[in-house]
Amino acid sequence: MAQKVLVTTVTTILVGVFFSFIAAMSLYRSEQQTIELEIQKDVENAILSLGRELNLGIELLYALRNQVLISNRLNEKIFMTMARRIMNRHFNIRAMEWVEFVPGEEREHYESEVKRELSSFQIVEFNVDGDLVKVGYRQHYFPIRYITPYGKKQNIRGFDLGSSPSMKKALEMSWYRGVPIAKPAIRLQHEFKKHSNFLMFLPVFYGEPETDADRQTALRGFIVALFDIADIFAMTINKTADELINLELIDKGIQGESGVILDTVVDLSEPISMEFTYASHPIYFAGREWVLKGTPSVIYVKSRMSVYPSLIFFVGVTLVTVFTYLLYVLQNGVCRIQKRVDTKTRELREANIKLEKISKAVGVTGDNNRDYFNLSVQAEIKRSHRDQVAVSMFIIEIDNMRKYNAKHGRVSGDKSLRLISQVLANKLKRSSDLFSWYGSESFGILLPNTKDGRPLANKCLDAVRMLKLPFDKESGDDIVTVSIGGVTVLNTSAFDAPKLMAYAEIALNKAIEGGRNQCKWIYLPKKTSQ
């Protein structure tokens, strides 16, 4: 009997230890999964916020380029005034430069012309000792003509950016492609810390070159902006990610090279929890690819791990006589905790969906916003590359909307904008077609796998006319009309999203210059425009 009691006791203890261990590990794993989800949420929200701030900077550079293009004669005062306006809107831009393109055979003439404005100007570069010296002959020069803010430590007028092979490569890439290119900054005056800043180049052309060959002969210069990565990092990422998470911002580079730009370390006294490390989806801008890696600190993990797993195990071992009851209670507790985790996860997912809908919508019309449209165009171009299918896109601009608002008021203008938006959106029949707000009084339509989008554009043109919204009979405009510019690309292998949108804008400009209330279309590679 004693032996049977002993066997029963030992068996009960073993069974109790086993099931107590299972219950404790189940709860422990549930808490780990919750931590993983929180890490992923914080890191993804942080990288998305960073991407929005970078795209805002690119849009401001385009705005400055437009101002430079319409300026009859660019001088230092005009450039510095325009640049300061941009820097006041984006505080992370530390400096802006106007860099001109000078062919080698025109160097002497160029220097003599500039000396009329800047008497001591000459094209220079750094020698091996770090001193500025006169540049020898090159095929092309890219000298800095204007810079703001201008101080003693930034006295680098005339510095040839093409003197650095890596800088020259980035300049030529931006030049030939006609798009902004970002590059980690170099220490021109040993003032900026390594990996804390980066340069962005935006080419400025004479006219509107449409091909690579045209761009090579039409280059006027570059707008160069110096962005402070540390400030952007602090303003966006640190506001969205938990302060107890160690973060690394990684630049994948233009050709796949990888390097840590910035990192934040919470506590060096204890090792970090590498098992919870999470790398975000990459963000793409200006030829670069950035990834944010988040690793929680020990404090972060401990604050979210409870003592219940250990408590369950020891209580189970101690109270073997009531093992069945305890197991039932503990399993119910685990289920309740898991249900709470699932509920929180579902609420978080629903909140993210709502937030995504809000972030994609424009307040006046409720349509998708420009950022979402740009991302959709990029995704569609990649898909068309992969599937080798055609793609069409067109931009619709409401004619003389500012005059309409001035005569009828902003309220009537917003009402007309919403009505026109609804009519245009109703013309899309396929679920894959995308209608989006494009600008203050313009909309964009993306037509995947479409060899000719002009018939739909003509329907949109007629639909707005059929609304017969009264405009101003006294000025000769009886009803509100729209102008449409579109492009169809049969072979997208040499195309990217900015280039597709640029062609659509070119067609729109032709429609406006032709007298508005009409549609102009560009077909590529067969270049015919109606």
Q: What pLDDT was estimated at residue 120?
A: 82
Q: Which of 72-81, 100-109, 348-357 has the highest mean pLDDT?
A: 100-109
Q: Can you say how many angstroms the Cα of residue 499 is from the centroid of all Cα atoms in its chain? A: 17
Residues 254 and 379 reside in one and the same domain? no
Residues 321 and 454 reside in one and the same domain? no
Task: Let me know: does 43 contact 236? Beta carbons within 8 Å.
Answer: no
Residues 124 and 216 reside in one and the same domain? yes
The CATH code of the domain that includes 1 is: 3.30.450.350
Q: What pLDDT was estimated at residue 2?
A: 53
Task: Give dist(CA 371, CA 338) in Å, integer.
Answer: 37
Q: Which of 208-222, 244-258, 328-342 has the highest mean pLDDT?
A: 208-222
Q: CB-hemisphere CA count at 13 Å for 447?
A: 23
CA–CA distance from 374 to each of 45, 501, 502 (Å)?
Answer: 19, 9, 12
- With left for phi above 0 and alpha for psi between -120 and 50, is residue 523 left, alpha or beta? beta
Beta-strand pair 181-184/132-134: unpaired
| Domain of 435, in residue numbers | 370-529
Sign of CA dihedral 64, 67, 73, 76: negative
| R_g of the chain, CA atoms, integer Å | 31
Q: What pLDDT was estimated at residue 258?
A: 67
Which of 359, 384, 413 corresponds to the end of one domain?
359
Task: Give dist(CA 513, CA 454) in Å, integer.
Answer: 19
Q: Each residue of 74-96: pLDDT tens digit?
A: 888 888 899 999 988 888 888 89
SS3 185: coil
Answer yes or no: is pLDDT of 334 > 70: no
Q: What pLDDT was estimated at residue 255?
A: 57
Domain count, the chain: 2
- Cis, bond preceding 498 (omega within 30 deg of 0): no
Can you tell me which residue has the tokens 């730009």? Answer: 261
Residues 414 and 386 reside in one and the same domain? yes
Residues with Cβ within 8 Å of residue 448, at least 6 apart in sequence: 380, 383, 384, 389, 391, 432, 433
Token digits for 76? 């230092």
Task: Give dist(CA 161, CA 223) in Å, integer.
Answer: 12
SS3 267: coil
Residues 287 and 396 reside in one and the same domain? no
Residues 374 and 265 reside in one and the same domain? no
Smallest Cα–Cα separation from 504: which of 430, 420, 443, 424? 443
The CATH code of the domain that includes 470 is: 3.30.70.270
Q: What pLDDT was estimated at residue 240?
A: 67
Q: Each residue of 456-489: pLDDT tens digit?
A: 999 999 999 998 888 875 655 688 899 999 999 9
Residues 398 and 517 reside in one and the same domain? yes
Which of 359, 381, 402 corresponds to the end of one domain?
359
Q: CB-hemisphere CA count at 13 Å for 406?
A: 5
Q: How many CB atoms lie within 10 A of CB 27?
A: 22
SS3 467: helix
Q: What pLDDT was estimated at residue 476?
A: 55
Q: What pLDDT was estimated at residue 354?
A: 53
Residues 224 and 295 reside in one and the same domain? yes
Token digits for 12? 């009960």
| Selected residue with higher pLDDT from 23 and 427 | 427
Which of 309, 329, 359 corresponds to the end of one domain?
359
Q: What pLDDT was estimated at residue 523?
A: 92
DSSP-H helix ranges across 209-266: 212-217, 229-232, 238-240
Inside any domain, residue 347: yes
Task: Give dist(CA 482, CA 50) in Å, integer.
Answer: 36
Answer yes or no: is pLDDT of 439 > 90: no
**% of the chain with per-residue pLDDT over 90:** 23
Residues 210 and 343 reside in one and the same domain? yes
Inside any domain, residue 425: yes
Q: What pLDDT was estimated at residue 259?
A: 78
CA angle 275, 280, 286 (to 5 degrees): 150
Can you tell me which residue has the tokens 């004669």? Answer: 73
Inside any domain, residue 424: yes
Residues 50 and 97 reside in one and the same domain? yes
Inside any domain, residue 74: yes
Inside any domain, residue 365: no
Token digits for 166? 């890596």
Task: Give dist(CA 331, CA 12) in Å, integer.
Answer: 18
Inside any domain, residue 364: no
Residues 477 and 384 reside in one and the same domain? yes
Smallest Cα–Cα separation from 53: which of 250, 261, 285? 285
SS3 284: strand
Residues 52 and 77 reside in one and the same domain? yes
**% of the chain with per-residue pLDDT over 70:** 81
Q: Each residue of 389-414: pLDDT tens digit?
A: 999 999 999 988 888 888 888 888 88
Residue 256 DSSP code: S
Contacts 24+ apart (CB under 8 A), 148-153: 148/79, 148/80, 148/83, 148/84, 148/87, 148/95, 148/96, 148/97, 149/95, 150/80, 153/189, 153/191
pLDDT band at 165 (very low <50, low <70, confident <90, very high): confident
Beta-strand pair 245-251/391-398: unpaired
Q: What pLDDT was estimated at residue 289?
A: 86
Answer yes or no: is pLDDT of 142 > 60: yes
Inside any domain, residue 339: yes
pLDDT band at 321 (very low <50, low <70, confident <90, very high): low
Task: Give dist(CA 310, CA 20) in Å, integer.
Answer: 9
Answer yes or no: is pLDDT of 224 > 80: yes
